[in-house]
Structure formats: C-alpha cells, structure tokens
Amino acid sequence: MVQKLVAIPGPTPVVRSIQNEMGREIVAFGDPSFVKDYKELLNDMMELWDATGQVFVIAGTGTMAMEMAIANTMKSGDNILIVSHGFFGNRFIEICERRGINVDLIQSEWGQIVPVADIEKKLSEKHYHAMTVTHVDTSTGVAAPVAEIGEMMKKFPETLYIVDGVCATAAEPEKLNSMNIDILLTGSQKAFGVCPGLAILWASEKALARRKSFGMIPDYYVDFEKWIPIMEDPSKYFATPAVNLIWALKESVNIIKKEGIENRYQRHIKYAKATQAALEALGFTILAEKDHRAVTLSNVLYMDGVNDAEFRKILAEEGAVVAGGLAAYAGKMFRFGHMGNIDEHYLVSVLGAIERTLVRCGIEIEMGKGVGTLLANLR
C-alpha cells in the first residue's frame, strides 16, 4: 500500500514523539504527575503567547472554542461586527444569531482581505460590544493583518477583539498583549500537530471581566467561570480532561520551545513561500493575493484541463491527500496544508506526487520543475 501524506488544512501530520504521548498508559486525572504536567502546559501557553488573563485547554473542537468565545462575552441584544475573509469567518454569523445577537458583517472577495480602514470606518458607525476576525480562513488561504487590526482597535477600547486562530496559532505570529487581542481561540489539530480533540482559548482580563459582569449564563460546559478554578488548579474537577491529549499538546509545546517560537514562525514563512513558488512554477495559481497569503496552507487554482475529482483521486494513489475547494471554488481548486511539525522531506514528497499526478492527468509539465523550485527557495 502507498503511504498517504496528509496534506490537508487539518488534521496535520503527528510526529512520533507526540504519538508516543497519546499512547501512554492512562492515569487518573487527579494523579499528581498529570496535574503537574497540565499546569506546566498552561503556564507555557500563557508565556509563549504573551498573555495575561487566562488560558483554557479543554476537551472540544475549534468550533466549540468559537462558541465559547461568544457565549462568555456577548448576550442577546448586543452588537457584534464579524469581519469575514471566507467560509469559516461566516460561521460566526449563525453562532451569534442563535443567541439573539445583532450581527453586522463586513467581508472581502475571496482571496483578498478586508482593508483595515474599512473595518475602522464600520466600527466608528455605532457601538459594537465585540468584533471577530479569522486570522487564516482555510477556504481562501488569506491571512488577516491581525497585528495591524489590533493596533487600530486601541481606538475602540470598549469593543472586544476576538481572533479565530484555528488555522494560524503556532504558525502565524499571535501575541495577545502586544496585538491587543482579547480572545484568541484555536484547536489542537492544525499548526500544533496534535490529533483533534482539544479546544484552546486565551481570554484577556477585559474579556474575563465582561463574562463576570453577566452573572449566570445559560451555557454550562463552555462557561469561563466553571473552568477558571480548574485552569488555576488542575487537581480540581469540573469535567474530565482529555489526559493523553493534554500530554500530547505538552509535547507539541516542548517542540515549539526547543525550536523557538520566532524560529517556528520564520520556518512557516519559508516553507509557504517555497511551496507557493513551486506550485506557480508548475502552472497553478494561488487564490490569495501575494501580500496576504497564509503560511499554513495554499489554496491552489487548477490550470485548464484538470478535473478536480480525478486529480485528487490520482494524487491519493500517488501518495498525498489534499482537500477540495469550498463554495464557489468547489471543483476549481485544491487546498494544500503545510503547517505544524512537517519538514522539507514532506514538502518534496508532496510536490513530487503532485507532479506525477499532473502527468497522469495529461498536463504537460517539465518534470522536476516544481520540486526544483521548492528546493531552490528552501536554501
């Protein structure tokens, strides 16, 4: 059987040392050694992401973290501005509307960003209790300028700045204090390189104060107030932690610390630019505008003559799996994830599989051109 390289926007490949942590013998969640590991992980998460307030690492998904962010900061009748760069930015709409929150949406053409000046203008029109921005939308491969937006948000101190980092955190720079972010949320299965199953959310002091001002909220499992005592002292109990996934995330964070988080950011930039140059050398087009391309994935438009279903079927036979396009781009592009703990060998292998697939699809290319371009840009 051909070993298939998982090159989708998540879940991403899981390296052996992280797999080993998931395969450990289970212990009681109150075991002193586990409690110590859990607390060390939480402390590292606060330090590495320049956060004050509280970080929550609990069993769940990125979508649950989105709901957790809204449940603890917004109530019925409040106003929220949703800044959307694609399909997943729009997911906040239903989450908010189900709660009776007044939603205003500002969105870009797929492949472009919403200009910061346009966001500022919209915020100045009325009071918003919060604003959401998706750092990287996997439907478009666009990265929002979250630091620039955060600087602008200083003009609106009463509005919480919520960043969806599901496909960005641990690959794209994110610092809560210096970027003025009030809530950052993500999941374990993307740039952390851990299996799905953990929801991760940082909340600033301002966000925590907003939650406290509400008193009791209708939500139970995602309530900040239920989880704060456990995050402060993991020996306490509210709901059973995902023990082995906590160990796995701790190993992922150890890998990040060993690499150096700034080095990790630079590696993702290098890998992304090299990969995108290689894809363009083969004749593909990248959907996202060059100045706003994500480093975690590339959304790749097909050249004429390629059938999406056939391409992805043959590519799987050649040893790599990519994701299809969404919405209006379904059948017109594929999505190639290149984040987390991948290495150069992984990129060479996936690009090689793409080249072989193009040949089998009847597309004339210069064999080795994509891989050669990749390697030239990695040096």
Report pLDDT digits (tens) over 107-134: 999 999 999 999 999 999 999 999 999 9
CATH code for position 115: 3.40.640.10
Given 224, 240, 259, which residue is the final one in a domain? 259
Both 324 and 220 in one domain: the answer is: no
Grouping H, G, I as helix, E, B as strand and the rest as coil, residue 244 is helix
- What size, in residues, is the chain? 379
Q: Classify 351 in phi/psi space as left (phi over 0), alpha (psi -120 to 50) or beta.
A: alpha
Residue positions forming the annotated binding site for substrate: 335
pLDDT for residue 29: 96
What are 251's two structure tokens?
């190993």
Query: Are 195 and 52 within one domain?
Result: yes
Element (H, E) at 81: strand 79-84
φ/ψ of 52, rounded to 5, equals -125, 155
* % pLDDT > 70, the chain: 99
Q: Which two tokens stand for residue 250?
A: 């701790």
At 267, which CATH number?
3.90.1150.10
Range of the domain at 40: 16-259
Are 154 and 241 found together in one domain? Answer: yes
The residues near 116 (Cβ < 8 Å, ≥ 6 apart) are 145, 148, 149, 152
Q: Are residues 53 and 184 in the same domain?
A: yes
> Are 24 and 244 within 8 A, CB to CB?
yes
Percentage of the chain modeled with pLDDT above 90: 98
- 105: tokens are 């949406």
- Give residue-wise pLDDT tens across range 250-300: 999 999 999 999 999 999 999 999 999 999 999 999 999 999 999 999 999
On whether both 29 and 155 belong to a single domain, the answer is yes
Indicate if 335 and 214 belong to the same structural domain: no
List the binding residues.
Answer: 335
For position 98, what pLDDT does the model report? 97
Element (H, E) at 248: helix 243-259
Q: Are 347 and 275 in contact (CB under 8 A)?
A: yes
312 and 229, same structural domain?
Answer: no
Task: Give alpha helix (H) positions in the chain.
Answer: 16-22, 32-48, 62-71, 91-97, 116-125, 146-153, 205-213, 224-232, 243-259, 261-281, 308-317, 344-360, 369-378
Q: Could you write out the DSSP letters of every residue in 308-343?
A: HHHHHHHHHHTTEE-EEP-GGGTTTEEEEE--SS--
- The first and second tokens of residue 130, run together, are 């919060």
50 and 172 fall within a common domain:
yes
pLDDT at residue 3 tops 90: no
| DSSP label at residue 303 | P
Beta-bridge partners for 300: 286, 334
Q: How far apart are alpha carbons 170 and 191 in whole angstroms?
A: 5
Is residue 206 located within the same domain as residue 355?
A: no
Is the pLDDT at 2 greater than 70? The verdict is no
From 259, 288, 303, the end of a domain falls on: 259
What domain count does the chain have? 2
Are both 30 and 122 inside the same structural domain?
yes
Statement to judge: residues 74 and 221 lie in one domain: yes
Last residue of a domain, one of 259, 291, 319: 259
Whether residues 241 and 288 share a domain: the answer is no
- Burial category of 345 from C-beta neighbours within 10 Å (exposed 0-12, middle 13-18, buried 19 and up): exposed
